[in-house]
Amino acid sequence: MSKIVVVNGPNLNLLGKREPEIYGTRSLADLNDMLRARAAELRVQVSLFQSNSEGEIIDFLQKEAPGSAGVIINPGAFSHYSLALYDCLQALALPVVEVHLSNIHAREKFRSKSVTARAARGVITGLGFDGYKLALEYLTEQGGKH
């Protein structure tokens, strides 16, 4: 059974509480439950992780991503400036899909630039939880093809 690694960055642990008019009222636990259910339907495993620490995210990716079929990542604010995370994603040499719950291009100007997106096969922005589901389906269909 193939595995997809799902990483959520800073403040995503506050889903459902933080700016619900932007991010919705569902929690990170709700997102993880949805991903587990969809993964079971697709017959893939998901390895789920959230951290507010850049180093912890990089350590997790270096440990868990090799051998997986790909990575779904919502880097949160790290997407706008983390060259270290970009380097990590590049070094994995795996398909990566970057996901943002809100449309980063319709928000503050600084949010529209993602340095980590250059390491991704694709970026899904503004589709809420459905963006994660689409990324999971895409990576499952790719079957680890690079």
60-70 residue pLDDT tens: 999 999 999 99
Which residues are catalytic, by number? 23, 100
Burial profile 41-78: b = 16 or more Cβ within 10 angstroms, e = fewer? ebebebbbbbbbebeebbebbeebbeebbbbbbbbbeb
CATH code of the region 3-142: 3.40.50.9100
For residues 75 and 86, give the distance between their C-alpha atoms in angstroms, rounded to a whole number: 10
144: confidence class by pLDDT, cuts 50, 70, 90 = very low
**Is pLDDT at 106 greater than 90 in this prediction?**
no
97: confidence class by pLDDT, cuts 50, 70, 90 = very high
For residues 103 and 110, give the distance between their C-alpha atoms in angstroms, rounded to a whole number: 13
Domain ranges (residues) in the chain: 3-142
CA dihedral 8, 9, 14, 15 (to 10 degrees): -40
- In Å, what is the CA distance from 4 to each residue of 16, 66, 72, 130, 137? 24, 10, 7, 16, 10
For residues 66 and 81, give the distance between their C-alpha atoms in angstroms, rounded to a whole number: 24
96: β partners: 71
For residues 102 and 106, give the distance between their C-alpha atoms in angstroms, rounded to a whole number: 8
Share of the chain above pLDDT 90, in %: 79
- In Å, what is the CA distance from 107 to each residue of 20, 35, 84, 103? 15, 26, 24, 7
